[in-house]
Amino acid sequence: MAESTPKVTVVIPTYNERENLPKVVELLTGLGVPNLGIVVVDDNSPDGTGEVADGLAAAAPGTVGVLHRTEKDGLGRAYVAGMSRALAEGADVVVQMDADLSHPVEAVPVMLETLATTDAAVVLGSRYVDGGSVAGEWAWHRKALSAWANLYVDTILRLGVKDATAGFKAWRADALRAIDIASVRSNGYAFQVEMNHRVVRLGMRIAEVPIRFEERTEGQSKMSFAVQVESAAMPWKLRFTKVDAGESGAVGLAGSAGSAGAS
């Protein structure tokens, strides 16, 4: 019997991304990935991104869906909501990416292929493996901060990945279920680190593929002081907390590696 095509759902959190969202949706649907869906998680953006998303959903019923939340509640909780919906709707693979075009859409098929052909539970779009890079527009102090943040996380948690704060990832659905996303506490950049930590704690593997991270041209980053404080504190909390992953969900993942990715 022929295997069915895996369902791939891309989760995109948005807060004030009305210029960017239509472009990223157009680029994603133009990839030609079979059985691709998109879930936009909008937090009642004052700039009307939610209505823009509704328009995109109306134009592509069955492909684009929108989750409206009533107020800005952080990137991490937006991802948990979108990923939970994707899993409930039967996704085999969940891709997380920013709306602002900083994550190169053309890397999605490469990430899916890597997921389908290796035993990795999650594939990161990585700035810091060979072949990866950040946009030339990045000021030296931003590059230094990003490099320092990764060194900081690696020193404390030893995750064994080069880009621990990366926000562009493709997940096998069974890995997301195993790490019990509903109990993830972090909400800013630390969300990415906590998710990676859970994967490693459960003995699953993270793969990295190189990407070029572009600077957004529209809208603004939502990085805040609170996000920075959380990012500094969370690695220590994770290191010294005994039970912080869905240990009960530890599963035999190796046998299903080939069935979850897209071809």
Ligand X SMILES: Nc1nc2c(ncn2[C@@H]2O[C@H](COP(=O)(O)OP(=O)(O)O[C@H]3O[C@H](CO)[C@@H](O)[C@H](O)[C@@H]3O)[C@@H](O)[C@H]2O)c(=O)[nH]1
Binding site for ligand X (CB under 6 A): 13-15, 17, 41-43, 72-75, 78, 98-100, 102, 165-167, 189, 192, 221-223
Exposure class string for 107-130: b at 16+ Cβ within 10 A, else e: bbbbbbbbbbeeebbbbbbbbbbe
User: Least Å distance between CB 216 and ligand X?
Assistant: 6
Residue nearest to ligand X (CB): 167
**CA 250, CA 27: separation in Å to the nearest integer?**
35
170 near 115, Cβ under 8 Å?
Answer: yes
Nearer Cβ to ligand X, position 102 or 114?
A: 102
CB of residue 200 to ligand X, shortest distance in Å: 17
CB atoms within 10 A of CB 73: 16
* Residue number, 17 or 92, with CB nearest to ligand X: 17
CB of 70 to ligand X, least distance (A): 11
Nearer to ligand X, 15 or 171 (CB): 15
The residue among 49 and 114 lying less far from ligand X, judged by its C-beta, is 49
Q: Give the whole-angstrom CA distance, residue 95 versus residue 71.
A: 23
| Min separation Cβ 229 and ligand X, Å | 15
Least Å distance, CB 254 to ligand X, is 28
Count Cβ atoms below 10 Å from residue 239 Cβ, excluding itself. 12
Assign 11 to helix, strand or coil: strand
Minimum CB separation of residue 15 from ligand X in Å reads: 4
Nearer to ligand X, 217 or 241 (CB): 217
Least Å from the CB of residue 256 to ligand X: 27
Which DSSP letter does residue 3 get?
Answer: P
User: In 3D, which of 183, 173, 168, 178 has the Cα closest to residue 200?
Assistant: 178
Element (H, E) at 258: helix 257-260
In whole angstroms, what is the distance from residue 25 CA to residue 10 CA? Answer: 10
- The residue (of 6 and 74) whose beta carbon lies closer to ligand X is 74
Shortest CA distance to 104 belongs to which of 171, 15, 31?
Answer: 31
Nearer to ligand X, 168 or 262 (CB): 168
DSSP code for 249: G
